[in-house]
């Protein structure tokens, strides 16, 4: 799609992001690129001040910036309070994002007789929909996806290739699950009996609320009893593992390779950075942040940022790191002090 800056500003304003053109309103853009890579006919944006110097070198036809940001002479600007949100809307408008193939209900998909498929749904070849499954309107099920008996799938859900949904799991509306992810597999539940591990039946399920997006190759264990829960609007990157019975709040953000053990309670708007690990049966409070590679072994209070192994409040971790970095220096200092002490002790013995 090709839009003039005036048309794009009008569109963004209509989406709740008031926007004004600073420059030639008739200039057209057809795609979005980074400040470094953009060329003629492309739109770029500045959300992070550390890249502001690139405004003087970019070849973009226009940039989305905050109202107070200065731009080079001759560079057209679209001024809006939140350029990051605005460029997201602009990408969808200009590029159309991802358009799903239109199979309808493929004659090469397996649909059990007892399954109910909503209107406008799109089920690809090789998909398998078991008995007593309900799929909402406008859902898209890619080839190789498997939906087991008794599942409930909401409206406008997208399941990419080879997603597996075990029995009796529930997905809300507008849920997106990327390729290779497994929802509702058995959790790690075993009882020690006579030095053997005896499997505890996992008879719960997984409930994923509206507007959740889950990346590729993630796993969410079903609960032993009750439900493992992913709250509304939460977003997962790839390779994330959630243990059985864990409950994740609304609008959380988990980066790749996060691992959360079973029976954890995670509050609202919690951020977990890459490779963070959470021990079972603890609580992570609302608006907490868990730093990269943190090993969380105790409850985290709301609004706290933790880091380290074991994880502690970030300022404490920084002090620990500062001390560790000085260990070679401190070791040498201790050696010097010991030498001085030995010398003084010998001197005292000689004097006596």
Active site residues: 244
Secondary-structure breakdown of the chain: helix, strand, coil percentages, each rounded to the nearest 5: 20, 30, 50
Helix (H/G/I), strand (E/B), else coil: 108: coil
Nearest to 203 by CA among 170, 168, 238: 168
Report which of 141, 188, 147, 191 is spatially closest to residue 165, judged by C-alpha positions: 147
Residues 6 or more apart whose CB falls under 8 angstroms from that of 212 comprise 172, 175, 176, 230, 231, 232, 233, 234, 235, 236
**What six digits make up the tokens of 345?**
């002790």
Asked if 337 contacts 331 with a C-beta cutoff of 8 angstroms, the reply is no
Tokens of 68: 């107070």
The CA angle 178-179-181, to the nearest 5 degrees, is: 80
CB neighbours of 352 closer than 8 A, spacing ≥ 6?
none
Residues 6+ apart with CB under 8 A from 37: none
Give alpha helix (H) positions in the chain: 5-14, 83-95, 314-325, 327-351
């Amino acid at each position: 799609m090709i839009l003039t800056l005036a048309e794009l500003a009008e569109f963004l304003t209509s989406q709740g992001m008031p926007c004004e053109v600073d420059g030639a309103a008739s200039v057209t853009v057809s795609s979005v690129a980074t400040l470094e890579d953009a060329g003629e006919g492309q739109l770029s944006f500045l959300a992070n001040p550390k890249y502001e110097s690139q405004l003087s070198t970019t070849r973009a036809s226009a940039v989305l910036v905050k109202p107070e940001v200065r731009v080079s002479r001759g560079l057209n600007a679209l001024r809006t309070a939140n350029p990051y949100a605005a460029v997201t809307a602009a990408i969808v408008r200009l590029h159309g994002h991802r358009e799903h193939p239109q199979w309808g209900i493929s004659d090469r998909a397996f649909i059990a007789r007892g399954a109910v498929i909503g209107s406008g749904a799109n089920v690809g070849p090789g998909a398998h929909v078991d008995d007593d499954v309900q799929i909402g309107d406008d859902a898209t099920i890619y080839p190789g996806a498997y939906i087991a008996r008794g599942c409930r799938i909401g409206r406008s859900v997208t399941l990419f290739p080879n997603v597996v949904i075990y029995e009796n799991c529930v997905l809300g509306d507008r849920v997106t699950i990327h390729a290779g992810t497994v929802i509702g597999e058995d959790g790690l539940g075993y009882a020690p009996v006579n030095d053997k591990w005896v499997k505890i039946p996992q008879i719960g399920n997984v409930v994923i609320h509206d507007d959740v997006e889950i990346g590729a190759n993630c796993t969410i264990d079903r609960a032993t009893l009750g439900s493992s829960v992913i709250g509304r609007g939460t977003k997962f990157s790839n390779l994330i593992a959630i243990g059985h019975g864990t409950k994740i709040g609304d609008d959380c953000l988990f980066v790749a390779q996060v691992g959360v053990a079973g029976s954890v309670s995670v509050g609202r708007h919690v951020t977990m950075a890459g490779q963070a690990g959470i021990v079972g049966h603890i609580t992570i409070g609302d608006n907490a942040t868990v730093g990269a590679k943190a090993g969380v072994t105790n409850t985290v209070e709301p609004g706290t940022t933790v880091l380290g192994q074991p994880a502690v409040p970030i300022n404490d971790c920084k002090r620990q790191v500062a001390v560790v970095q000085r260990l070679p220096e401190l070791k040498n200092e201790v050696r010097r002090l010991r030498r001085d002490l030995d010398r003084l002790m010998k001197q005292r013995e000689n004097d006596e």
